[in-house]
Amino acid sequence: MICLGSLIAGLAGCGAPSGRTCAPGYGAPTAVFTLYLGTAIPGRGDLTDKEWQSFLNDTVTANLPNGYTILDARGAWMNPITRRTIKEPTKILVVALPDVPESLAAVNRIRTKYQLEFHQQLVGMITEQACSAF
């Protein structure tokens, strides 16, 4: 069971507790996920606005119904075969979730779907531990 509803209710958590605690007034233990979604699609042009909106509605919001933040950025990486720097528009998705296994599962569903649907070699992810209150 994915229990993301607790985010709005003060991040009370669901499932097994993380074992971490937060000082009084600092909120509840939280995992902050930052995903890097490149929009250059191999073999064709960049991700279209319509494709992005559809992905947000059908995949991101479906897995993160309590909200998230999207930032537009420019990313770069080195192609390991050609050794050339590849630059591309990038979407950065940031979300703070209860520090429980179900949160990681929700984020990984988004990563996997993006990689498969848009033929991405990878979707970068940074995870940080924090305390938060909403």
Give the CA distances from residue 28 to residues 14, 24, 43, 95, 110, in Å, rounded to whole numbers and listed in that order: 12, 9, 44, 15, 24
Domain ranges for the chain: 31-132
Model pLDDT, residue 19: 72
Model pLDDT, residue 11: 37
- pLDDT tens digits for range 44-97: 989 999 999 999 999 999 999 999 999 999 999 888 899 999 899 999 999 999
The encoded tokens of residue 31 equal 């995992």
Query: Is the pLDDT confidence value at 4 over 50?
Result: no
Model pLDDT, residue 2: 34
CB atoms within 10 A of CB 77: 16
Give the fold, CATH level 3, of 31-132. Answer: Alpha-Beta Plaits (3.30.70)
- pLDDT tens digits for range 106-122: 999 999 999 999 999 88
Q: What percent of the chain has pLDDT above 70? A: 87
Model pLDDT, residue 18: 55
